Structure 1
Amino acid sequence: MVIPGRTLPRPAGLLPASRVVAPAARRVAIVSASVGAGHDGAAAELERRLGADGFAVDRYDLLDLLPAGLGRAVRDGYHRMLVAAPWAYQRIYAGTERAGGSGPTTRALLRAAEHRVLRALRPDVGAVVSTYPGASRVLGGLRLGGRLTAPVVTYLTDFSVHPLWVAQGVDVHLAAHAVPAAQARAAGARDVRVCGPVTDPRFRPGGGPVERARARARFGLPEHAPLALLVAGSWGVGPVRQVARELRDCGAAVPVVVCGRNQALARQLRADGVEYAYGWVDDMPGLMHAADVLVQNAGGLTSLEAFAAGLPVASYRCIPGHGPANAAALDEAGVAVWIRDPADLRSALCDLVDGPLGLRQRAVGLALFARAPGDGPAAEIARVVHRPGPPPPPPGPGPQHRSRARRLALTTAAACAVWACAVGTGVATTNDGPALIHALGHGLDPDRLAPAHSQEGHHS
């Protein structure tokens, strides 16, 4: 997806307006990636805010700019691994976290994308913003090499900061809260600024009992029962059926499940007797106004939207990798409760729905959005547009920096065998080869990839 510039609104009946020509330093490029919906969601809201401030904005999908059409293979491989072999993704995430970054193949792949990214950027661009770790690596490399003179800003979309997020050459890192800001600094980032989260302005606190009743009526939900909104991202991954049954059986709230684009999951839930199961929902703000608590498993954009809507959030049975990492960071920040023990599910939900914990969580979540407009992410990006000076010095090694010698010894043959096991085919086909790049590029260690037991990665 390439969205080259914004167009001016025009009265009906006139010819299409010409594309905006930005004055010097009034153009910003945003590079995201269509991996789930969180990175693109942050990019879309940054685009809206910067456009409202008078900037011309170009948006790019990094996966479209990878060579040889590998972007789709990377996205599909990541999706398949989360569904078929979450234990493998957990080990990839943990291994790269310990090593402090990516493996040699990922670095080679991202270097191969540098020319395509540079060619896509307009010559009058005043700043480039990344909402995806891979994009930060590409842009940082261009900045360090002197081929990109415009400053680079990384907007950290998650509350937990994996070392892949912190790339040499990036001028500024923006964080939603002090917790991810501290993690970014620990990983070696120099200029880190806390500027609050970005969410669609439709996500706001509900208008009281009348709006709540109308929202429940629109979705055909019970008028008076407490409702637990269960979300699993745009892909509907994780042990969603298990969690939905646990929510129903514990009696604290009626589960209302959003399965994203996973229509098969919605059908399975209805067959399980979970009455309120939806696929893709366009009116998520309305559904949040109808609910009493959000239960999530990844800690991404939906959690931030719930905070903006004044909805308390619980993390439970998180997906592997970034799921538990985000849950821990959200819990540390005090904005969401991490339910680690199923025995605590009922009591925690009751307290969130109708107790002091829920009142406290609503207040803390809303406080994230209390900043003045001049202190938000778009304002920080505007401040660095065409900032003079050379690229920043390379970040110092974070405390997690380790030797990569063993990872560098990984062979393609071993990685193919691992991938074949991960997808459950027993054969590494030609079509699986490009998708393997995502796994191989993170420098997998074969000795760390055998699953400890079949349930790992499904529990928080």
Structure 2
Amino acid sequence: MPVEISDGDRVVIVSARVGAGHDGAARELARWLAERGVRADRVDFLDLLPGRLGQTLCGAYHRQLQVAPRSWDWLLGALGSPALAALARRLAALASAGLAEVVGDDARLVVSTYPLATHAAAHLRARGRLAAGLVAYLTDPSVHRLCVSAQADLTVAPNETAARQARAWGAGRVLVAPPLVAPAFRPVAGAAERTRLRFAHGLPADRALALVVSGSWGVGEVERTVADLRADGSAEPVVVCGRNDALRERLRNAGLRHVFGWVDPMADLMRASDLVVQNAGGLTTSEALATGLPVLTYRCLPGHGRANAAVLDQEGTVPWVRTPDALGPALRAALAREAAPALPIEVAG
């Protein structure tokens, strides 16, 4: 069916609390739709699974990234096989009954920002139980087999590389649209605003600052990244640990002065900084680029982190720093060039 919505229509957006990227995309889609008079209801895929299965899956994924992150690289590769991908789609189908209830008879459109949610909706579509249109909204620069369903009426990709990958996995109609980010992520107005923001957050006014981010869970080789930044000395690290309280305490005990936990005014910290060092290439990267900051990928997460890093580096958007010896030159090159102005975000219909 054609993907068309208008003022007064109801849209169901399905994300998942697996990190912050899927939820962040869902939140901004809901805001964008609401500004156009569309009612947008958000639901978490994990809550649609029977019993405590969703909570169990989320916890297992979190522990895997903390305890054995390299195994995620292997698992993601294994899920690229037809057999295991089919198994994952059957798991997703367990949420289809709950999704059908949420969608009801009046939803005009279902938008999924999470791959398994896409397949839950596709399961309903294949069985004639989903009359609403289905849009798969891709949140990563790279595309895995499980991100795509031929049942979707439209797949929204964040870049041309992702669009090509989606088509190769069997997507039908594909639209390229820059990621939506919150309006707060804008370039700094000038030196006075940057100075004010640094003072408000207890940051030094006379040093280049590298904002180190590792997702809402604070996973990856964050401590090694911080040690490498301190050893180089080109920029002082400012670390956001998300909900990883143990990481925050370890860094503080190691003598790091500028360490934050979960940060609501992330846009303020970005405008106070000179560049961002990240390890996954998802929502934070889009937010930093919208803020006009140079971004580097360093010590990236296995699996989707590496895949995203490769695409961003190939497109010339975010350099992938692969070794500690290359970090210093990359930092100095990023600091030497003026931050590029943020591109206006336009979403085609």
Scaled by the length of structure 1, the TM-score of the pair is 0.73
> What fraction of aligned residue pairs are identical, expressed as a percent?
46
Distance apart, 1:25 and its partner CA: 6.8
Q: Does 1:43 align with 2:31?
A: no
Amino acid at match of 2:42: R
Q: Does 1:64 pair with 2:44?
A: no
RMSD: 1.7
Distance apart, 1:23 and its partner CA: 9.2
Query: Compared with structure 1, are the counterparts of its residues 101 and 260 closer, same or farther at alpha carbon in structure 2 (3 Å cutoff)?
Result: farther
**Does the C-alpha gap of structure 1 residues 153 and 242 become closer, same or farther in structure 2, counting only changes over 3 Å?**
same
Pair 1:334 & 2:334 matched: no
Q: Are the equivalent residues in 2 in contact too, given 1:100–1:164 (CA < 8 A)?
A: no
**Alignment equivalent of 1:135, drawn from 117, 121, 128:** 117
- SS for the counterpart of 2:132 is coil
**Matched-pair contact (CA < 8 Å) for 1:28–1:56:** yes
Superposition deviation, residue 57 in structure 1: 1.1
Among 101, 104, 108, the residue aligned to 1:119: 101
* Equivalent residue number for residue 290 of structure 1: 272
Aligned CA distance change for structure 1 residues 312 and 94 (closer, same or farther; 3 Å): same
Partner of 2:65: 82
What displacement does 1:272 show?
1.5
Q: Would you say the 8 A contact 1:141–1:168 is kept in 2?
A: no
Deviations 1:288-346 (A, max 9, x none): 00111100001110110001100110000011110010111111221111001210100
2:149 aligned partner: 167
| Cα 1:119–1:68 shift into 2, 3 Å | same
Secondary structure of the residue that 1:140 maps to in structure 2? helix
Q: Do 2:185 and 2:290's aligned partners in 1 also have CA atoms closer than 8 Å? A: yes
1:73 aligns with 2:56: yes
* Equivalent residue, structure 2, for 1:385: none
Give structure 2 stretches of 5+ with no counterpart: none
**Mapped partners of 1:270, 1:101: distance in 2:** 46
SS of the aligned residue for 2:247 comes to helix
Larger Rg: 1
Distance 2:50 2:227 in 1: 44
Q: Distance in 1 between matches of 2:233 and 2:58?
A: 38
Q: 1:306 aligns with which of 288, 308, 314?
A: 288
Q: Any idea what SS the aligned residue of 1:203 has?
A: coil
**Residues in 2 aligned to 1:207 and 1:168: alpha-carbon distance in whole angstroms:** 44
- Paired with 1:68 and 1:108, the residues of 2 have a C-alpha distance of 16
Q: CA deviation at 1:168?
A: 2.8
Identify the residue that residue 140 of structure 2 maps to in structure 1.
158
Q: Which residue of 2 aligns with 1:414?
A: none
Instruction: Note the C-alpha offset of 1:140.
Output: 1.2
| Contact 2:89 2:116 (8 Å CA) reproduced | no
- How many positions carry a matched residue from both structures? 345
Alignment of 1:364-403 (within 5 A): 366-367=342-343, 369-371=344-346, 376=347, 380=349
Question: Which residue is 2:206 aligned to?
Answer: 224
The partner residue of 1:92 within 75, 92, 98 is: 75
Contact 2:289–2:295 (CA<8 Å) still a contact in 1?
Answer: yes
Q: How far apart, in 2, do the equivalents of 1:110 and 1:207 lie?
A: 45
Q: Does 1:322 align with 2:304?
A: yes
2:7 and 2:37 in contact (8 A); partners too: no
- For structure 1, which runs of at least 5 residues remain unmatched after alignment? 1-21, 381-460
TM-score by length of structure 2 reads 0.95
More relative contact order, 1 or 2 (CA 8 Å, 6+ apart): 1
Task: Note if contact 2:281-2:305 (Cα within 8 Å) is conserved in structure 1.
Answer: yes
Matched, 1:346 2:299: no
